[in-house]
A and B are shown apart, each in its own frame.
Chain A
Amino acid sequence: MSRNAILHIVLLAATIAAPLLFPAYNAFLATLWLFIIVALTWDMTGGQMGYNSLGNIFFYGTGMYVGAVIAIGMYFPVGEWTDAARSELFLMSPGQYYTGLAVGSLGAGIFCALAALIIGALTFGLRGPYFAIGTLGVAIAGGEIVSNIEWLGGGQGISMPNPPGDFDSFKVLIYYLFAGLGVVLFIFLRWFYQTRFAAAINAIRDDEEKAEAMGIHTLRYKLVTWAIAAFFVGIAGSISAFQLIHFEPLETAYQTINLGIFMVVCVLLGGKGTLWGPVIGAVIFHVFKEVTWNYFLGGQWIALGALIVVIVVFFQGGLMGFFRRRFPEWFGVRVETKGATETAS
């Protein structure tokens, strides 16, 4: 068994054992997996395809709302449920709750994938900074519009049904949902980045005009990639909705300046366009964020803003870029010290 396979098995075992070993950190670990998921999906377009979206958070927020609406709407009228001054109390049986969680999350993923196809068809003609600003606009507009729809609870947001059973085991369930989604996504991407499809989107990143000249239908590739990313983000958003129990549009669902920018920073910190980069970046960033949150009360946002600037300005290759330069042999690149000019890889 190779060293690599052992490493993967150890990590997988740690993933499964973590909530049982550190029950006090369940919420932290679940959020860590959320960060890994959004960072990996952002890297699909940002790192592998060269389309730096600032609006992937749109799918997170939309996933939250779609998941909530499906789960509630299967059994109750949504409008009455979200009415803040509702007089009657709606109760969900455990069976209804778990069915709602499963169907809602899947529905949220599918809805977000379709939304990505539509938004992508409109925005993928934009290049470079225009794409980034345009998608940022989509995300902000999404939050502002949803917060004005009374049927969805307006600015108050939606209160989800209380989870059945005791709260600790619910937290463990949420952890496993996020971790499971993350592991599935990671395995999928591991396979995906070796396919011809991924080679095509890498070609789009490197030179879109040439890729088009080679006969690649660039728009189709871009749309499918973004739709896959949106599918996973949508599911993650829906699980978050159940995890948070109550959410509101601007600060939690369409949180443009929180998670929306964090996912980009995670990827840049870890290294764009690599499989492990977003994972490593998400872990380091999340730990840093939790530490600053605990010890710099009040100043944490300033510290985070400064961190974003520092990472973007000084450290854009990310950790993987650093390792690649420092230890190229880890990446299967053979470096010959003699006659390096001829055999430069």
Chain B
Amino acid sequence: MDQILFNLGLLVDYPVVNLKIIIDGVMIGALFALAAYGLALVWGVMNVKNLAQGDFVIAGGYVSWALVRTGWLQSIGLSDNIAALIGVPVAFLVMAGIGWIAFRTIIVRVIERDVFTSLLATFGLAIMMAQILNLLFGSDTQSLKLEYDTLYFADGLIDVPIAKLVGVCMAAALALGVILFMKNSRMGQAIRATAQDARAAQVLGIDTDRVYAFTFSLNAAICGAAGAIIVMVWVIQPFYGMTYSIRAFVIVTAAGLGNLPGVIAAGLGIGAAEQYGSHIFGISYQQAIAVLLLLLVLFVRLMQQRRKRQVLQ
């Protein structure tokens, strides 16, 4: 309790610390928003609530990590930093493939079923993926420590590693690319049409089955790229996936489907809220805070939609 009061006092005494926390939170929040956008996409298009979302993120991180650690790219004269940047598109492509396999084997069979089925099936998929990663890479936390400098502001109270900035820029570029793709390309339009009304889209000659497959692998690819960015700066571990899935659910539930600005705002906000929470309560509460935010968002929405119900006496 004293520790919590001390941490709170720190925020009041040194307002600049708030700025640091917000910057940190917004940076990690950008990546939460990416994963959440993928979830919203799949949820909106085929009504599948993917609990393996976070495991796609972590798997993408491990793809990039393995690529850098094997040293193939370094052997042709690239530095670690460049190799890590190349890891992002590689993770994007590899996870697109894995997403396509997951769709063809599992997801395609649960689209038409009730929502609990998709939830449980993807939960099983999440357990499988986490365990396969655990067997392949071990259960230690991993990170690529890149050789970028760190920028210091406000007498060193705010430190911004350039690696984080690079990561945020890549996340922004990825988001922009996906948005442009969804707006302008033929496939993007087909995806949006299917999300609005799958039957009507079918009548108009859209192969909805292909759209579903494409959407799911696009989602996995976005998650994979987000994971590859996360491993550049933050840490990953085979069992962190569930927390990322829950964050994605928090964001989508708070923002609603098909509300892109909402997803981004909620993502950044949740990043900042988590940073505040772990500053005040200590780092060991970080997972608990992510989950409590989920409950909070669910209850707030529940209260908003509350109807007056009465029983006849």
A-side residues, CB < 8 A to B, are 52, 54, 122-123, 125-126, 128-130, 132-134, 137-138, 140-141, 144-145, 147-148, 155, 212, 215, 217, 256-257, 261, 264-265, 268, 298-299, 301-302, 304-309, 312-314, 316
* B246 contacts A148, C-beta separation under 8 Å: no
Are A130 and B124 within 8 A (Cβ)? no
A309–B124 CB distance below 8 A: yes
Identify which of A265, A299, A309 gathers the most chain B CB atoms within 10 Å of its CB. Answer: A309
Q: In the complex, how many angstroms separate the beta carbon of A212 from the nearest chain B beta carbon?
A: 7
| A146 CB to nearest B CB, Å | 10
Where the two chains meet, the residues of B that have a C-beta atom closer than 8 Å to any C-beta of A are 49, 106, 109-110, 113-117, 119-121, 123-129, 131-132, 134-135, 242, 246, 249, 253, 282, 284-285, 287-288, 291-292, 294-295, 298-299, 302, 305-306, 309, 311-312
Complex partner residue of A144 from B119, B131, B253, B288, CB under 8 angstroms = B288
User: How far is A218 from B287 in the complex, measured between Cα atoms in Å?
Assistant: 33
Picked from B109, B246, B311, the residue with its CB within 8 Å of the CB of A137 is: B246
Q: Is the CB of A313 within 8 A of B110?
A: yes
Contacts A302-B128, A305-B128, A306-B124: A312 and B115 contacting too (C-beta < 8 A)? no
Taking chain B's interface residues, is the majority helix, strand, or loop, or is none over half, making it mixed? helix
The 9 closest A-B pairs by CB, nearest first: A305-B128, A308-B124, A144-B288, A301-B131, A305-B127, A309-B124, A141-B291, A129-B115, A52-B116
Residues of the B chain whose Cβ atoms lie less than 8 Å from the Cβ of A299: 135
Contact A132 B119 (CB under 8 A): yes
**A257–B121 Cα gap in the complex (Å)?**
13
The answer on a CB contact under 8 Å between A129 and B119 is: yes
18 further contact pairs, Cβ within 8 A, besides A138-B295, A148-B282, A299-B135: A54-B123, A128-B116, A129-B49, A129-B115, A130-B253, A132-B116, A133-B294, A137-B291, A137-B294, A144-B285, A144-B291, A212-B309, A301-B127, A306-B124, A308-B121, A313-B117, A313-B121, A316-B113
Task: Provide the bound-state CA to CA distance between A301 and B136, in Å.
Answer: 13
| CB<8 Å pairs between A and B, sample of 24 | A52-B119, A128-B114, A129-B116, A133-B49, A133-B294, A133-B298, A137-B298, A140-B288, A141-B291, A144-B285, A144-B291, A148-B282, A257-B242, A261-B120, A261-B124, A261-B127, A302-B132, A304-B127, A308-B121, A309-B121, A309-B124, A309-B128, A313-B109, A313-B117
**B106 A309 Cβ-Cβ under 8 A:** yes
Shortest distance between the CB of B21 and any CB in chain A (Å): 20
CA gap between A324 and B132 in the complex, in Å: 37
A154: nearest chain-B partner, CB-CB: B284
Chain B residues whose CB sits within 8 angstroms of the CB of A147 once the complex forms: 284
**Please, how many angstroms separate the alpha-carbon atoms of A145 and B119 in the complex?**
25
> Please, how many angstroms separate the alpha-carbon atoms of A147 and B114 in the complex?
35
A298 and B106 form a contact (CB under 8 A): no
- In the complex the two chains form, is A122's CB within 8 Å of B128's CB? no
Measured in the bound complex, the distance between the Cα atoms of B285 and A313 in whole Å is: 35
Say whether A126 contacts B123, CB under 8 Å: no
Asked if residues A305 and B119 are in contact (CB atoms below 8 Å), the reply is: no
CA distance A122 to B309 in the complex (A): 15
Of B110, B298, B306, most A-chain CB atoms within 10 Å: B298
